Amino acid sequence: MAGQALMRKGLAPRNGMLTESRVAAGLDIAPLENLVFGGWDLNDGDAYSATLKHDVLPRDLLEKVKEELLAIKPWPAVASPRFLGECKREAVMTAREEVEQITKNMTDFQRAHDLQRLVMINLASTERYCEIEDVHKTLEAFEAGLDSNDPRISPSMKYLYAAIKLGVPHCNFAPSRTRIPALEALALKNRVPIAGEDGKTGQTLLKTALAPMFSVRQLVVEGWFSTNILGNNDGKVLDDPASNKTKVLSKQGALDEILGYAVPNHQVHIHYYRPRGDAKEAWDNIDIVGFLGERMQIKVNFLCKDSILAAPLVIDLARFLDVAKRAGEGGIQRQLSLYFKSPYFAQGTRPEHDLFQQYHLLEEWIAEASKKRASLAAVS
């Protein structure tokens, strides 16, 4: 939110977004200036005090958009202690009431700001690990679960359900599990574009760029040891072993998929380390075996900033999903795999993890969409 306000005022460069680059020039993308933000939060306050607290932007820059941010006040979020350790209170509403409230928040918001279209992005803290069970497998079971207040339906799933029912494209940028057959089918049926899970920002981004390099050179990865330290609230949540499991599983899939074999010693560790703040640091050690079985090593130390890497992807996703919606597409948007650690994939297919194959998918989709748009323009 702060970023858009700053860019709109010309106070910050438009880095980090494909939707602001030549790559997407052929698409009819919603202007950055026209985006309006609202959202839910477990904490009260406003976007200004939250930004201040998270200490991501230089203070003097932040002050220049204070007014805009003060005006954004979150609605109370739907949450559950079962899925989030730091949520201390039990839900007071039924599942159905929660879905209704989410829906109402959206329609009120749209009316209040006189908005043409909506997109929902899940940016909430990582929920605890959960298995896919019967209640998640068919739309009937899922809706029956909502009716019976089934505790296995997570807050993230409720948001996704509400979005699809309202015809609002949805992206799950969090690692929380939302790829469930019930909602995949609903999105397809209702022609609502959906994308997820878990924004690919730092270490996994690097991993999915380096792994294809090893393939190209036929270097065998014998071990990959990854450590992350971060000091923001995301880091604190991941100190909860059950949330940590969700995240680590999300980070581990890509490697084997890209390389085509199970890397024997692949470890991912995430630690809360306060001095790092919102900055995030990854240290990777990679053991490779080359010609004649000779061993070599690569160490990568990424000194990055969590929100700075994530925010432009969120803007890209919102705008690409909006384009997809207007083009009449629905269900899983495979061309957006580029943005995720655990990209959604249709049942019966495999997820695409290779960063450059992912990019290729997006390029092809953009070319196709641009061509259609050009031919429509030619007709009209």
| Minimum CB distance to a copy of itself, residue 284 (Å) | 9
**Cβ neighbours around 64 below 10 Å, total:** 15
Tokens linked to 27 = 């698409």
Minimum CB distance to a copy of itself smaller for 6 or for 186: 6
Minimum CB distance to a copy of itself smaller for 267 or for 375: 267
Q: Is 337 left (phi over 0), alpha (psi -120 to 50) or beta?
A: alpha
Minimum CB distance to a copy of itself smaller for 190 or for 267: 267
The secondary structure of the chain in percent helix, strand, coil, rounded to multiples of 5, reads 50, 15, 35
Minimum CB distance to a copy of itself smaller for 7 or for 238: 7
Select the span of 112-120, 123-131, 292-300, 368-376 touching a copy of itself (CB under 8 A).
292-300
Tokens linked to 344 = 């959604």
Q: Is 212 in the site for a copy of itself (CB under 8 A)?
A: yes
Entry field: residues in the chain: 380
Minimum CB distance to a copy of itself smaller for 283 or for 345: 283
Q: Is 66 in the site for a copy of itself (CB under 8 A)?
A: no
* CA nearest to 343, candidates 315, 365, 329, 362: 362
Backbone angles phi, psi at 97, to 5 degrees: -65, -40
Q: Is 336 in the site for a copy of itself (CB under 8 A)?
A: no
Q: Is 380 in the site for a copy of itself (CB under 8 A)?
A: no
| Minimum CB distance to a copy of itself, residue 176 (Å) | 23
| Minimum CB distance to a copy of itself, residue 17 (Å) | 6
| Minimum CB distance to a copy of itself, residue 145 (Å) | 37
Q: Is 269 in the site for a copy of itself (CB under 8 A)?
A: yes
Minimum CB distance to a copy of itself smaller for 20 or for 184: 20
Minimum CB distance to a copy of itself smaller for 177 or for 353: 353
Select the span of 111-119, 140-148, 210-218, 343-351 touching a copy of itself (CB under 8 A).
210-218
Q: Is 304 in the site for a copy of itself (CB under 8 A)?
A: yes
The per-residue DSSP string of 332-345 comes to: E-GGGGGGBSS---
Burial level of 43, CB count in 10 A (0-12/13-18/19+)?
Answer: exposed
Backbone angles phi, psi at 155, to 5 degrees: -55, -45
Minimum CB distance to a copy of itself smaller for 21 or for 34: 21
Interaction with a copy of itself in 4-33: which residues (CB under 8 A)?
6-7, 12-13, 15-18, 20-21
Write out the E strands in the chain: 40-41, 75-76, 120-122, 170-172, 193-196, 220-230, 266-272, 279-289, 295-305, 331-332
**Which residues make beta-bridge pairs with 269?**
227
CA distances from 138 to 147, 153, 159 (A): 14, 13, 17
Q: What angle do CA 175, 188, 41 make, to 5 degrees?
A: 35
Q: Using CA atoms, how far apart are residues 213 and 206, in angstroms rounded to an integer? A: 11
* Single residue of 274, 364, 367, 376 touching a copy of itself by CB under 8 A: 274
Q: Please tell me whether residue 143 adopts helix, strand or coil conformation.
A: helix
| Minimum CB distance to a copy of itself, residue 152 (Å) | 30
**How many residues lie near a copy of itself (CB under 8 A)?**
69
337: which residues sit within 8 A by CB, 6+ positions away? 343, 344, 345, 351, 352, 353, 358, 361
* Single residue of 291, 347, 349, 350 touching a copy of itself by CB under 8 A: 291
Minimum CB distance to a copy of itself smaller for 128 or for 305: 305
**Cβ neighbours around 35 below 10 Å, total:** 16
Q: Is 375 in the site for a copy of itself (CB under 8 A)?
A: no
Minimum CB distance to a copy of itself smaller for 62 or for 332: 62
* Single residue of 76, 151, 167, 264 touching a copy of itself by CB under 8 A: 264
Binding site for a copy of itself (CB under 8 A): 3, 6-7, 12-13, 15-18, 20-21, 57, 59-61, 205-206, 209-210, 212-213, 216-220, 222-223, 225, 227, 229, 264-265, 267, 269, 271, 273-276, 281, 283, 285, 287, 289-305, 308-309, 311-312, 338, 355-356, 359
